[in-house]
Structure formats: C-alpha cells, structure tokens
Amino acid sequence: MISLSRRVLLALVVSTAATGFAAEPAPASAQVPELPPAALTDLWEPVPLVVSAPAVGVPSDAVVLFNGKNLDAWESVKGGPAPWKLENGVMLIAPKSGIIRTKAAFGSIQLHLEFRTPAEVKGDSQERGNSGIYFMGLYEVQILDSYNNPTYVNGQVGAVYKQHIPLVNPSRPPGEWQTYDIVFIAPRFSANGVIDVPARLTVFLNGVLVQHDVEVKGPTENRGYPAYKPHDAKLPISLQDHSNPIGFRNIWAREIKAPGEK
Ligand code: MG
C-alpha cells in the first residue's frame, strides 16, 4: 500500500513531468499528515453473541411472554393466575379483572408486542380502547384507539403517558392488529436512593418512530407530576386493564446487554 504522503509526492512528480515545470510546493496547511495504521482501531473482541432472527418468528435470545398458547408467563398483580382470557390464540383483557404482570423481572429491554383495540367502537377519548404497557410496573407507554379519537395528546397511543407526546400518530383502524417495538432503558439509582440516570424510551408503533430516546421523568402519574423512587434493578412488566377488551399477541422481550456483558 502506498502511504498518503507518498501519493502526494507521486502526484507531484507526475504533474511536473506532464507540464515540464516544477509544481509549487504545497503550502504546509495542505500537506496530508501521516495517518496511523487502520489496525490500530480494529476491535476483535468481545464478539457479539450470535442471534438468529428468522423472517417469521422470534429472535433466538428473546424471552417469549405470549405466543398464543397460554398465559403461563403472566400473573395477576393481586396474586394468582392471570385472570384474562385466551381466545383463538389471542390474550384478551377480561374487563375489570385487573392488571397482569410478567412472572419474570426485567431491566433494560427490547419489547415486541401486538395489540388490537375492539372493532366495535364504544366510548371516546380515554374510554376507547385503553390499555398500556408498564415497564417495571411503573412507566407506561399508552395503548389507546387513537384512530379519529381526539384526547389529550400526551395520553394518545404512542405517548409516554402524561410525559411525552408521540412524534406522529400512525394508528390503524379499530379491530386491526398494531405493533409496538420498544426500547426501554431502566433507570439507575445512586446508593443513597436518589435517581442517578433516568429511564429512557424509544418507541416504534406500526414500524413508525413515535418516541426517540426520551427521558422518563418518573413513574406514570395520572394526577400530579412524576417523581422517582428507588426500586430494584429488575421488575415485572405489567399490562393495564382499563375496562376495554383489548387483544394481545406475539409478545417477547430481549434483555439489552453490551457485548461481553454477563
Ligand atoms: Mg392506558
């Protein structure tokens, strides 16, 4: 390989030969500095884990939370089995039966979830197709039928509830399946229990970016302003029962770890 400074010299010789005149020496500012070898910045480890990501199906390192067969990964927040229904491979909210949560606890994750608000439209604003995903049981990404359904904008689908308005509204009509792909980065607390690094959320709804790396201000509050309280590094994900029969399918989560992190 010819180094850059050699190439400059070569160009100088060639141009001199072509014109018959000695070229003006390049000013000092135009001289190309010697660059370090490329290998200096090549990293060969830690090697990222190999993950299979089939065109149809779930990445090999995902924790499957619902695949249409049973509600075994979930329980009632009141204790005991998840009181929601399983109908034709769909997990359906049994209105007023209560919130469910995963049996497993999670910190920072990538979550995939598909939901369907009722085809038969009843109610409006927050009373229409309302549910929600609570990361760590505390931080809600809103589920709502927001197809021609005005409500306060920090409470429509794609909102970090009462904290961040979605960038756009890519809602599909009631009764159609919709997809959430969400990156949740768990908050970190200092030893004295004060928030050190707030949680963050990036959210795609139906493949469209609706939240880009927003800071979560604290646990979701309907009234008043959020304030962090220290909690465990991993906690269950919960799904809200807001008395509307929302259907769910294909729910899986991947823990987010840096390469080499145990
Ligand atoms: Mg909700």
Q: Is residue 83 part of a domain?
A: yes
- Residue whose pair of structure tokens reads 């899986």 in the numeric block: 252
Does the residue 31 lie in any domain?
no
Q: How far, in Å, from the CA of 141 to the mean position of ligand 1?
A: 8
Residue 107 lies in a domain: yes
Name which of 3-7, 12-16, 57-61, 121-125 the model is least confident about.
12-16
Residue type for position 30: A
Q: Region 26-43: what's the mean pLDDT?
A: 84
What is the domain range of residue 221?
63-255
More confidently predicted of 164 and 18: 164
Q: What is the pLDDT of residue 30?
A: 67
Residue 29 has pLDDT above 70, yes or no: no
Q: How far apart are CA 206 and CA 181, in angstroms?
A: 8
**What total number of domains does the chain contain?**
1
Ligand 1 centre from 133 Cα, in Å? 8
Query: What's residue 129's pLDDT?
Result: 97
Tell me if 14 is assigned to some domain: no
43 Cα to the center of ligand 1, angstroms: 44
Residue 18 forms part of a structural domain: no
**What is the Å distance from ligand 1's center to 164 Cα?**
14
User: Per-residue confidence at 20, pLDDT binned at 50, 70, 90?
Assistant: very low
pLDDT of residue 26: 61
Cα(22) to ligand 1 centroid in Å equals 76
Average pLDDT over residues 120-133: 97
CATH of residue 151's domain is 2.60.120.560
| Residue 8, pLDDT score | 41
- Mean pLDDT score across all residues of the chain: 91
CA pair distance 213, 204, nearest whole angstrom: 11
User: Strand pairing partners for 86?
Assistant: 91
pTM score, whole prediction: 0.87
pLDDT tens for 63-116 read: 999 999 999 999 999 999 999 999 999 999 999 999 999 999 999 999 999 999
The alpha carbon of 188 and the centre of ligand 1 are apart by a number of angstroms equal to: 25
**Residue 26 domain-assigned (yes or no):** no
Is the residue at 27 inside a domain? no
**Predicted local confidence at residue 1, as pLDDT:** 40
